[in-house]
A = this chain, B = another copy of it.
Amino acid sequence: MTDLSQIKDDLVTANRVLAYHHVVDSFGHVSMRNPENPNHFFLSRARAPNCVEIGDITEFTHEGKTVGHEPGKPYSERFIHGAVYEARPDVMAVVHNHSPNVVPFTVQSRRKFRPIMHMCAPIGTDIPTWDIANKFGATNLLVTNMDMGRDLAKTLGPRTVALMRGHGSVVAGKSLRDVVFTSIYMEINAEMLIKAYQLGDGDIVPMSDEEVAANTKGRAGFTYERGWENWCRLVNRPYYPSTWEMGPGFSKTDKSGL
């Protein structure tokens, strides 16, 4: 395959992997920026992630207009993706989900959503909740135009994750593997955190800002590959190896070679 079709094939895989891990079910979606044109992004037509095939991948402008191939109706909420790509040149991939253990955090403010396990560090220690009602009043809670998308992207700011009240979350990443990784471990962290709050009666030790920074800095190619190879196998999809570099934060005490 050419590079671009391999990229689209990886996007299909990302859909299946997120469905396998229950981050998305029949709803929710994952996109990636077109590496050859930063003003466009790739996203499936409106289809359940588990059913998405390479022919469903559509190219969009940030404003959600189809470019070229039109395999069918687009997701009504593609504006979530476009608005994040518009506001964040550093973001290369976006997931929108209704992750089942994350949603409970979006409808209450007594217990904060925080990372408690190192794999989940990239969600960060400052996770805002966007409430569509604040600016748009009584809606069906869906982000169906650029105004809404831009308001959500503003709440997201420079962060990795913004929760969406009564809905789910948006996750931004520096690569497709990164955003899938963060989404999966965000769900795992949420389930662990609910139990930790229960055991501790709310008194828990989340990761500190410094620990989160050290983890995020040190998250490199070999970590993503370990997950990605496994996930490809679990959903019966081809595995295209990617870079296996160590990253700037990789522990210098590890002297053994590759």
Give chain A's interface residues, CB within 8 Å of chain B. Answer: 25-27, 46-48, 50-51, 64-66, 70, 72-74, 76, 98, 100-101, 103-105, 107-111, 116-119, 121, 133, 138-142, 144-145, 147, 165-168, 188, 191-201, 203-208, 210-211, 214-215, 217-218, 222, 226-227, 229-231, 233-234, 244, 249-251, 253-254, 256-258
Contacts and interface: CB of A to CB of B under 8 A. Distances in A.
Contact of A222 (B46, B116, B199, B250): B46
A230 B104 contact: no
Given A46-B226, A98-B119, A139 B199 contact: no
Assembly of this chain: how many copies?
4
Query: Which of A70, A191, A208, A254 has the most C-beta atoms of chain B within 10 angstroms of its own C-beta?
Result: A254
Given A117-B98, A167-B117, A192 B50 contact: no
Given A116-B166, A142-B251, A192 B46 contact: no
Given A73-B244, A168-B117, A110 B258 contact: no
Contacts of A70: 257
A61 to B, nearest CB: 11
B119 A226 contact: no
12 contacts: A64-B256, A100-B188, A103-B117, A103-B196, A104-B116, A108-B200, A109-B200, A118-B141, A118-B167, A138-B210, A140-B214, A144-B254
A49 B210 CA distance: 29
Nearest to A132: B211
A198 B200 contact: no
A107 B26 contact: no
Closest 10 CB pairs of A and B: A108-B200, A48-B230, A138-B210, A145-B253, A144-B251, A104-B196, A104-B195, A118-B141, A140-B214, A26-B227
A76 B203 contact: no
Contacts of A229: 47-48, 51
A210 to B, nearest CB: 3
A222 to B, nearest CB: 6
Nearest to A139: B214
Given A215-B141, A226-B48, A107 B166 contact: no
Nearest to A191: B100
Nearest to A102: B192
Nearest to A64: B256
Nearest to A188: B100
A104 B211 contact: no
Given A48-B226, A50-B234, A66-B256, A103 B205 contact: no
